[in-house]
Amino acid sequence: MLVSAPMHSAAELFALFLSLIGDTLDILLFVLGLRRKFYRSLICFFAYIMFLVPRDFIWLWISHTTLFGTIPAFCFYWTTESILSILRLATIIEIARRALRDYPSVWTLAWRFLTAVAAILCFWTVDAALRHAHHLKFLITIGLQRFELMQATLLLSVLMIGVYYRIQIRPVYRWILIGICIFSAVQVANYELGRLTVHATNSVFDYLRRYSFLASQTIWMWALWRWAAVPHQPPELVSQALYDEHSERAHARLRALNDRLAGLLHQ
């Protein structure tokens, strides 16, 4: 959340109020994640929360000092923003592994597909960023924009794999992914509009840009409170008798299809 320098007007006080709400939600997320022992079930997301809390408070302090607008503040903001983006990507990867690993055949195909998609998008991200290496602002914003788009694409791919194979992804994982997806989508639009246009501080668009993260925080809070304590249910296995019955039928149908194709080839 990017906060403007020293505030005096009602609009600026309102911006400070929203910033404090966001920081309070950060603390509540950390406490709730600690109580639910999320450091065991989703390590990367817990690390993300642990890094987010001090980062937001440090940035809130910087934004009200003479350091705001300086090169050190600029470096701090974009460096920590990049680290948070990497941790969100790591969370997506960890959720994919934890959600699909109970299905070995699906996981074998899924990790190869997701790796290929990630490699292509990573190359596209680096290439797009380096094309603007002569302009630091565009190098950072375009690089992070493509990185957020890569996260959203991988996230949706994980959800599509779950839907296609009818895999029951744990609700807490699913809602965490939804929260990340919302934030990534807003950030993609934000970086593009910020590159093309300039909006006044504390304008409607500025509020949407800065505090859309509150929506994701609220979703994560609800997911941790409602679903984190629900134990993981392993997938129900098909009984051996039912498996043998369907195997015989499938084998018979495939053999009949093979005989028909062989007959057509010999005609």
- Mind listing the pLDDT tens digit of every residue in the chain (267 residues)? 444 444 456 667 777 777 788 888 888 999 988 888 888 888 999 999 999 989 988 988 898 888 888 889 989 988 998 999 999 999 999 999 998 888 888 888 899 999 999 999 899 888 888 887 787 777 888 888 888 888 889 989 998 998 888 888 888 999 999 999 988 888 888 777 766 665 555 566 666 666 778 889 999 999 888 877 766 666 565 556 665 666 677 767 777 777 777 777 766
* 211 and 257 fall within a common domain: no
d(CA 193, CA 191): 6
Let me know if residue 46 belongs to a domain: yes
What is the rounded distance in angstroms from the CA atom of residue 77 to the CA atom of residue 265? 67
Residues 129, 212 within the same domain: yes
Interacting residues of 167 by C-beta distance below 8 A, sequence separation 6+:
99, 100, 103, 106, 161, 235
Q: Say whether both 69 and 192 belong to one domain.
A: yes
Q: Give yes or no: residues 220 and 259 share one domain.
A: no
From CA 134, how far away is CA 84, in angstroms rounded? 25
Q: What is the pTM of this model?
A: 0.78
Spell out the residues 6+ positions from residue 238 whose beta carbon is closer than 8 angstroms to its own. Answer: 246
Q: For 67, list phi and psi in degrees, rounded to 5.
A: -70, -20
- The verdict on 220 and 167 lying in the same domain is yes
Q: Give the pLDDT confidence score for residue 3 in this predicted structure.
A: 46
Number of domains present in the structure of the chain = 2
Indicate if 247 and 179 belong to the same structural domain: no
Considering the domain architecture, whether residues 193 and 117 belong to the same structural domain is answered as yes
Residue numbers of the domain that contains 267: 237-267
Query: In the numeric block, which tokens belong to residue 163?
Result: 């839907």
